[in-house]
Amino acid sequence: MKEYMDYVIRFLPIVISIISLLISLKTHFTRMREERPSFSIVQNLWTSSPYYELINEADSKLDAIPSPSYYMFIASKVYFQLETEQCFSVLTLSPVSYDVIDEQIVSGTTKNSIVKSKLPSNFSAKKGEREMIRSQTEQKDGLQMFVETYPFLVIISEVEYSYKHKKRKDILLSTPLVTQKMKESMVKHIREYIHDNYHHEVLLPNDSSSIYAKTNTQVLQACDNLKENSAFFGGKEGGYGFILKMIGRMMIPVDPMENYYEKDNKQKRIQRGKFKWIK
C-alpha cells in the first residue's frame, strides 16, 4: 500500500500540471471564441417606422465596417386538405426587392449596431399567432387550400468582413425568432429559387396597406394554378435542396394566448396531422 501511495504522490504533480494545462487551453479557446465576431439580424417591425439592423454581438473589433447584402422574403405556409381530412403543407417564399429599403444608416462602428435598414410603413406588423394573415380557396376536385402569411421578413444576408487582417464571410438566415448560419450550398438553392420564381415578387403597395396582406392574396392566386406555379411550391426536381423545409421549421411565432383565442374566436387549429376549422 505504501509503495502504491509513493507511486501516486510521485506522479501527482504531473497529473495536476496536465489538468491545469487542459483547463488553461479550454479557457483560452473559449475566450477566443467569445471574442470572434458574432453577427445577428434584428427586426423591429412593431413601429410606424419599421427597420432591421445588422448587429455584432461580440466585443471584437473588425478591421473595417462590412457592407452586407440581403435577400428578403415574406413567407407563407400553404396547407392542402383532402376530403379524407389528410393534410400536408409547404412553405413559399415571396421575394421582396431590395429597392423597397428607404434608407440605410451606417453607425460608424463595428460593434453593436453596424447597419440599420429602414423600411416603409407597409412592413409594420406585430409578432404572434393572432397577427398571421389567413385565407382559403374554394374546394375543387376534393382539395381545399389554406394560406397563412407570416407578418415579418425572412432575411438572408452574406456578410463579408475582415477580422485580424483575414477575409471572412458569414451567411445568416434570420427571422424575428432566430438567426442562424447557413452554408454556401444553401444560398445556391435560394438563388435558384429566386431565379425560378422572380414573377412572384411582391411589389410595394401604392397606398399604406400591409405588404403581408398583399402577399397573402398573391399566394392565394398562385394556388389557383398549381401546375403552372409548381416551382413556387418547391415542386421541382431536387426540391431546392430541401431549403424550404428547413426554413419552414423556423416559422413558428408563439402566442401564449393561442389556445384560449382558438376556442373563443373560432380560429384555425392544427392537431395530430389534421387541419380543421373549429365551428
Q: For every one of its 279 residues, what pLDDT tens digit does the chain have, with 9 covering 90 and above?
A: 555 555 555 655 665 556 555 555 444 344 444 467 999 999 999 888 999 999 998 888 888 888 888 999 999 999 988 776 778 889 999 999 989 999 988 887 888 889 999 999 999 988 777 788 999 887 777 788 899 999 999 999 999 999 998 999 999 999 988 889 999 989 999 999 999 999 999 999 999 999 999 999 999 999 988 889 999 999 888 889 889 988 988 776 555 544 544 444 444 444 433 444 322
Q: What is the pLDDT of residue 252?
A: 66
Q: What is the pLDDT of residue 130?
A: 72
Give the Cα separation of 100 and 94 in Å (integer): 14
Give the Cα separation of 154 and 73 in Å (integer): 5
- At position 136, the amino acid (one-letter code) is Q
Q: What is the pLDDT of residue 276?
A: 40
pTM metric for this prediction = 0.78
Q: How far is CA 171 from CA 32, 65, 114, 180, 211, in A?
A: 21, 16, 16, 8, 26
Instruction: Tell me which residue has cell 421575394.
Output: 95
DSSP strands (E only) in the chain: 39-44, 51-56, 69-82, 87-96, 103-106, 112-118, 133-136, 143-149, 154-163, 166-174, 179-181, 268-271, 274-277
